[in-house]
Amino acid sequence: MRKIICALLFPLVSFGQSQLDSIDSLLKKKQFDKAEIQLSVYLEKHPKDLKAIELLGDTYGHQQKWDAAIENYKKLVEANKKNAEYHYKYGGAMGMKALSVSKLTALGMIGTIEESFLTAAKLDPSHINVRWALVEYYMKLPGVFGGSKNMALKYAYQLKQLSKVDGYLAKGYIFEYNDEPELAEKYYKLAIKEGGSLWTYDKLTTFYEKQKQPEKALANIAVAKEKHKRNALEYQMGKIAAEYNIELQKGVQCLQTYLKNYSPEDGVPRAWAHYRLSQIYAHKKNKAAALKYIDLALAEAPETTSFKQEKQRILRL
């Protein structure tokens, strides 16, 4: 269900070009609190502007303020019951809230979540995101409350009719979740063969990591690097080398390449690359180098618990 948030939050507005530009700028900078203030002020004067209400709901979602997001999405559903996206976002926000409350409270939300997703799917036969949400919903919900592998496969089949890549990835997810690793691997590989996007490679890499198969993960990343030439893949290889104590020299080279070519768009801060280097040098019993890199990590992010714990482990070497 956590994946739903990634697809929930689309910055769609139609009110005033200057206001649009201002909100877009804040969202790109991830200044969601400021965007929230601007939208709230605007809606005081224009309380029925559905696009503004939607964007405010999205802004709350980015901040994980699920009650506020739900309130705004509910307004959208009540204003236009024929809009699939409104139902999808309302159900998604409810689903995210259900993950943060007690099981008893979450059980009381199940009906609304399912109804919202099913309504969205019915209203828009080509809505990919809601079908992904239904795959996750039916796999994660206990069978006694309506969870069903067969229902998840039904929506995976619908996804395949819309996008073969999504259909294969959905089946991979279902079989992985159902502890059928051979079938999961098969469908993740089919997704790569069909689409070959960085996303498909990442799904297979993550699967191999969960299966404690770091050699396969490294091999898959190496293939992805040849095709996509992304600096972020250098970090991924270094991370796996550090976590599993394998291919240590290759890990060092990858992390140094990552740091040399680093840009904020790579996603993982420099401090984490320094942390991974400290782990590798600790594996190599090079205490001085390990301390050098963990101190660099701590200089950039001194409150990070993992970094502080790693330094204590290194000091005990």
- Span 155-180, pLDDT tens digits: 999 999 999 999 999 999 999 999 99
Residue 104 in tokens:
């008893």
Return the structure tokens found at 260. 């040399």
| CATH number 2.60.120.620 given to 1-124 | no
- Please say if the pLDDT value at position 260 is more than 50: yes
For the chain, how far is it from start to end, CA to CA, in angstroms?
A: 41
Rg from Cα positions in the chain: 22
pLDDT of residue 22: 80
Nearest to 77 by CA among 131, 37, 38, 113: 113
- pLDDT greater than 80 at residue 19: no
In the prediction, which pLDDT does 207 show?
98
List CB contacts of 52: < 8 A, sequence separation 6 or more: 13, 15, 39, 42, 43, 46
Angle of CA points 65, 70, 74, to nearest 5°: 155
What token pair was written down for 259? 């740091």
48 φ/ψ angles, rounded to the nearest 5 degrees:
-105, 10
Residue found under tokens 């006694």: 144
Global pTM value:
0.86
The band of 15, judged by pLDDT with boundaries at 50, 70 and 90, is low
What b/e sequence results for 208-222 when a residue is b if at least 16 CB atoms lie within 10 Å of its CB, and e otherwise? bbeeebbebbbebbe
The mean per-residue pLDDT over the stretch 93-97 comes to 95
Question: Class for domain 230-317, per CATH?
Answer: mainly alpha
Residue 143 contacts residue 174 (beta carbons within 8 Å): no
pLDDT single digits (tens) 266-281: 999 999 999 999 999 9
Domain with CATH 1.25.40.10 in the chain: 1-124, 230-317
The answer to whether 204 touches 220, Cβ cutoff 8 Å, is yes
Mean confidence (pLDDT) of the chain: 93
CA distance 33 to 308: 30
Residue 119, number of CB atoms within 10 A of its CB = 21
Burial of 24 (0-12, 13-18, 19+ CB in 10 A): middle
Rounded Cα distance, 170 and 151, in Å: 12
Tens-place pLDDT, residues 53-72: 999 999 999 999 999 999 99
